[in-house]
Structure 1
């Protein structure tokens, strides 16, 4: 999708992930271990509706989400079908789960990609250009799927220069 072709106020949110943990992650003290791991973006208020599942052993994963930027007193507010939370507390969920032989996904953990740490000038540029990029690795320091709150330095938010 060409960001310049989006409607006014529209922002393409591209999440670029690398360093996935593998298709199988063994048992650890605080981790029961899982097989046939996949990750996808969870739709707002629909825990079982996921965008583009990627296997845990993929070399990389990219998701493109359409969002709308609305001006608020405190700055820009991004909304969209995959954006969770309330104004001032927006984020995107990456859901980790297993896929069984029938193709059913069972979530076991999520990573919450918070927007509150996006620098104002980066968000201003993203609204002008129509593109906001979040880059992150998806393996935590224990070698397991990344989960919980994800803010810099775990994720780098950027926008192309004008």
Structure 2
């Protein structure tokens, strides 16, 4: 099975410190999918001012007595809750990504009928906006209605019909 994340409404490449805080400012903001148990390894960083961002992740969907279990190199598993991390970070002049915030796309919040259909048809799609209510990068736990999950048929050979190829299936 594939998981495709379609993101829009990115917050921009810079973020000034809030006026009422001593918090940091950020420059050259990017967002990427974090590999499981490897916070420094991110997939396809996208600039924070992009019109949209899409990642496609290879995973495995297994039927269990409790429902469909999703695993893969980009699927996190903490205390039995599965999710995908979108990591926000800055990119320095040498291309090094330094994370400062993350969003958890909660897979256990996917409706069970949608997850079952995605496991059968081959593609689970999550669509969301990445700017929070204060104009900054979306963070914390992300569940419906802030993300919409749908099942779609995968193309021939398991490839994403929208992309024509699997990206990020390392």
TM-score, reference length from structure 2: 0.85
Shift of 1:38: 0.3
Runs of 4 or more consecutive aligned structure 1 residues displaced over 3 Å after TM superposition? none
Other-structure match for 1:131: 123
Distance 2:83 2:153 in 1: 23
The Cα offsets for residues 47-80 of structure 1, whole Å up to 9 and x where unpaired, read as: 1110000000000000000010011111000000
Contiguous gaps of at least 5 residues in structure 2: 155-170
Matched, 1:52 2:47: no
Aligned match of 1:122 in 114, 121, 125?
114
TM-score, reference length from structure 1: 0.90
Matched, 1:66 2:58: yes
**RMSD between superposed Cα atoms in Å:** 1.5
Contact 2:131 2:138 in 1 (8 A): yes
Other-structure match for 1:6: none
Other-structure match for 2:7: 17
Aligned match of 2:17 in 15, 20, 27?
27
Other-structure match for 2:168: none
Give the count of matched residue pairs.
152
